[in-house]
Amino acid sequence: CNDTPVDKNYTFKTPIAPYFKLGASYNFLYNSNPDYKLQMGLRYGFSTYKWSVLDATVDEGYWGEPSRFSLNDLSHTAGYLEVTFGIKVNIAGNFSAGWTLVYHSVLHESKSPYGQPMYIPGYGKRNGAFTANFSVMYTIPINKKPVAEVTEEKGAPSGY
């Protein structure tokens, strides 16, 4: 994240950081055509990262010049929950498209005397509990079943 919010007097940064998610999705259409999915999922995510607030300006008002400060490389950890709901449909051949709605909530995080970071890797910004995404997918046909070839030899009676 490298963001200077509109009408704000600072820049928030976090470098590339690892995050981990563990969970599962249940396909309600598992007994029907495999080209279509209606699924719901539950995931736990965790990230440990550093964040910075750069060039923050505090207006001193009547008494003098504004002062500037930065908070650099503050360590933070966060754990969060995601509940997902989505669909996937086959478009043509091995191409599919789908959308997913995600509800997420921070379960636990480390305390900071400077407040909460505005961005958590893997979770995103703290500007709402719901997000959505749209995907176009290609399935690599690794386990494709071979088609049995039917050949008929000349002169062989039928049934052999």
For 30-43, the pLDDT digits (tens) are 898 888 999 999 99
* Residue 41 domain-assigned (yes or no): yes
Q: Which residues pair with residue 90 across a beta bridge?
A: 96
- Does the pTM exceed 0.85? no
pLDDT of residue 157: 56
Q: Sort strands 36-58 and 67-92 into parallel, antiparallel or unpaired.
A: antiparallel
Average pLDDT value over all residues in the chain? 87
Torsional class of 63: left (φ above 0), alpha (ψ -120 to 50), beta (otherwise): alpha
How many independent structural domains does the chain possess? 1
* Residue 15 domain-assigned (yes or no): yes
* Residue 160 domain-assigned (yes or no): no
38-60: average pLDDT: 90
Task: Please give the residue range of the domain that contains residue 121.
Answer: 2-138
Q: Which residues pair with residue 56 across a beta bridge?
A: 69
* Residue 155 domain-assigned (yes or no): no
CA 136 to the chain's CA centroid: 15
* Residue 157 domain-assigned (yes or no): no
* Residue 145 domain-assigned (yes or no): no
Q: HSE, CB side, 13 Å, CA atoms: give it for residue 125.
A: 10
* Residue 151 domain-assigned (yes or no): no
